[in-house]
Amino acid sequence: MNYGTCENCPFYRQKNLASRPLTIKTPLYLRNGKNDPKDLIIFKYPGICEAMEGRAVVSSKKKGCMTERLKDSWLKFGKTEEDFDITYFIKCYKGENNRKIPKSAIALCSQKLRNELKKKKYERIFVIGKEFYSYLKKIFEEEKIDSEIIYIFNLSTIKINELDDLWTK
């Protein structure tokens, strides 16, 4: 099935979930940081907290969780999420199950990402997660993105010193 527009996708406003959270603020499109950031971060898709708050990076109180590791690393260098433009490959919360994302949803979100990438040239693009690696690689090649692309396949297992090194360049 070709969804054509976001409104027809099962992830839009979480039509795919039997019991929806109270407030969902997705899709989450490109969020621009302050002072014209030179770096872009692309996450796989928003989690429930990001979807409910409509923010790109939401803290979790769980020790060692991905966003806490990221924020702790940024803090060492005086950075916050405002120092980056941030977006998602899949724009909507897909649910907590391991539901496979339909190819037509991937195609639709891929086009949204292409449009976002055309708006600005970045020095570095950080790609968090490996689920959509082949799609992103193709987009970067086809759109002739010449930014430095840094893949972080698993943010929860990267060594802290390796994560810290990313922000010192």
pLDDT of residue 65: 62
User: Can you tell me the distance from the alpha carbon of 75 to that of 155, in angstroms, rounded to the nearest whole number?
Assistant: 16
Residue found under tokens 């992103």: 136
- Residue spans of beta strands (DSSP E) within the chain: 39-43, 85-88, 124-128, 148-152
The residues near 143 (Cβ < 8 Å, ≥ 6 apart) are 114, 117, 118
User: Can you tell me the distance from the alpha carbon of 40 to that of 123, in angstroms, rounded to the nearest whole number?
Assistant: 8
pLDDT of residue 153: 86
Residue found under tokens 């002739």: 144
Is the backbone peptide bond immediately before 27 cis, with ω within 30 degrees of 0? yes
pLDDT of residue 50: 73
- Can you give the pTM of this predicted structure? 0.85
pLDDT of residue 22: 43
pLDDT of residue 26: 56
Structure tokens at 163: 């994560």
Under-50 pLDDT residues of the chain = 1, 21-22
Domains along the chain with CATH numbers = 6-166 (3.40.470.10)
